[in-house]
A = this chain, B = another copy of it.
Amino acid sequence: MSGTGKRRSQKERSAETSTRLMNATIDLLHDRGLARTTTPEIARQAGVSRGALTHHFTTREAIISVSVADMLSKTTRDLHRFAEDFIARGGSSDEIVDYIWQMMDDRLFYVTMEYLPEARHNPDFRADLIPTVRDFHAGLDAIWTALAARTGVDPDHTRIVMNATMCLVRGMISQTVLRPNDPAYYQEMLAFWKQQVRQQFPIEAASAQDSRRKAGTR
């Protein structure tokens, strides 16, 4: 695939196998659930032997934990990129809500729903995750803090709105499980929420001229 030639260094081989295994793990978590994400299944999905898996990851819990942390840190990188861009051009609160929804709906929270119960009952697993989750929230903070500074809104209040937004979106994605195939329902709720958030940042007309939206809302 991406191999520049036939000869690859050990590091290259190792890195590619690890990556394949981690990607396979996330794919399986998303597509088939944690219970069905077994080590033989991961190896099959990654196209390597189970021996290769045990060579790179000592235990099932380890590969899952590492894969999830990897996914989260990638998402955090994206988040920081978005934050930079958002700050540079002075984006709207609507955009933030849309971005968060897209991000969470694009596998992130579905995968989260898979490991969250395990994290609740397994202290080691939970301890592994918490630092990564903290980084992720720092990325979120960067965005909302910028919005707060620009609109002169109390940062503490902004943080509440931010967290409420995250919770709302989490709950919405949860609901898709038992209420699927109803995009209009979720778009309507998002529209309502965007309006609520707008009310929290009233002076936003400052940079109203560049209200070009990338993500079309309904």
Contact = CB atoms under 8 A, between A and B. Distances in A.
Interface string A110-132: 10111011111100001001100
A133 B180 CA distance: 13
B174 A189 contact: no
Nearest to A185: B163
Interface stretch (A19-27, A29-37, A48-56, A87-95): A29-37
A215 interface: no
A200 to B, nearest CB: 9
Given A113-B174, A167-B172, 11 more contacts: A34-B35, A35-B118, A113-B120, A114-B117, A116-B174, A160-B188, A163-B175, A164-B192, A168-B168, A171-B171, A174-B174
A1 interface: no
The count of identical subunits is 2
A174 B121 CA distance: 13
Which of A130, A164, A193 lies at the interface centre, i.e. has the most chain B CB atoms within 10 A of its CB?
A164
A73 to B, nearest CB: 15
Interface residues of A: mostly helix, strand, loop or mixed?
helix
A196 interface: yes
A167 B171 contact: yes
Interface of A: 32-36, 110, 112-114, 116-121, 126, 129-130, 133, 160-161, 163-164, 166-172, 174-175, 177-178, 185, 188-189, 192-193, 196
A120 B177 contact: yes
A169 B174 CA distance: 11
A175 B33 CA distance: 20
Contacts of A178: 116, 119, 126, 129-130, 133
A101 to B, nearest CB: 12
6 closest A-B pairs by CB? A167-B171, A170-B171, A171-B171, A33-B121, A120-B177, A167-B172
Nearest to A190: B164
A216 to B, nearest CB: 20
B170 A174 contact: yes
Nearest to A33: B121
